Amino acid sequence: MTSLQTTIVSIVEGLTEFIPVSSTGHMIITEKLLHIPDDEYTKMFTVAIQLGAILAVVVLYWKKFFDFKNLPFYFKLVVGVIPAIILGLLFSKKIDALLESSLTVAISLLAGGVVLLFIDKIFTKHTSASEKQVTYLQSFVIGIWQCLAMVPGVSRSAASIIGGMQQKLTRSEAAEFSFFLAVPTMLAATGYKLLKYYKESGGFTGEEIKMLALGNVVAFIVAVMAIKFFIGFVKKYGFKIWGIYRIILGAILLVLISKGIIQ
């Protein structure tokens, strides 16, 4: 990957990580449009630069994230990430294979779009007032929902936000808890991918390290702006607009696949 390709993919990641449109799906589409090879480095890079975007949460919500007087909050995040760790280890090879599939992304975008059209009407009862009131069981259930995002195109943020709303959190509370849960989830996923790539390839080249650093920095900067936008937007307008966007993009992608423009 060149510096320009890395920058473009990282901008896409930063913009899409926290909105319910699937950052992985968008990166896969972008990589194919840029004719980036579907090799092991690309698969690792697609996961690893998400950590840069996720760290934007730590910076923007540092007062909440580093409130060490609220230790149960950290334990709940650990409970929430357990399903992803277990399923990620069990189905690692199948997940890697899905990262090559544009058709999977297209179908997931369409299906997720339909769900988002109605999600605000489906979950209307809210009982939680803050992330501190999320129970361990709620956190675990939200973590199970988050696992749906192992399928490219599903959207980690959408899956965990829907899980939060199903557990009676408000839209904004579910979005914020989704952000917090993303930190240990992506730390685990990135660490696993980096270690796996290191063992299988015999180490990282200087150029690979440089591109990973560039990608994470760009994704972080863009994500900081995207988070501020998304929270305000979802409070005011909900998720319907993202459902429409996903359906349109999924349909366009199916056309491009059928025409052979995207493999």
Tens of pLDDT along 130-141?
556 788 999 999
83 alpha carbon, distance to own chain's centre: 15
Nearest-angstrom CA–CA distance, 86 and 196: 16
Q: Per-residue b/e over 174-198, b at no fewer than 16 CB within 10 Å? A: bbbbbbbbbbbbbebbbebbbebbe
Nearest Cα to 17, choosing from 196, 149, 214, 131? Answer: 149
DSSP secondary structure, 109-129, as one string? HHHHHHHHHHHHHH-------
For the chain, the structural domain boundaries read 3-258
Is residue 122 pLDDT above 90, yes or no? no
The pLDDT of residue 128 is above 70: no
- The pairs formed by 253-260 with CB atoms below 8 angstroms and a separation of 24 or more are 253/29, 253/102, 253/105, 253/106, 253/109, 254/103, 254/106, 254/110, 257/102, 257/103, 257/106
The pLDDT-based confidence of 228 (bands split at 50, 70, 90) is: confident
| pLDDT tens column, 15-38 | 988 888 888 889 988 998 999 988
Average pLDDT for 3-13: 95
pLDDT band at 121 (very low <50, low <70, confident <90, very high): confident
pTM for this predicted structure: 0.85
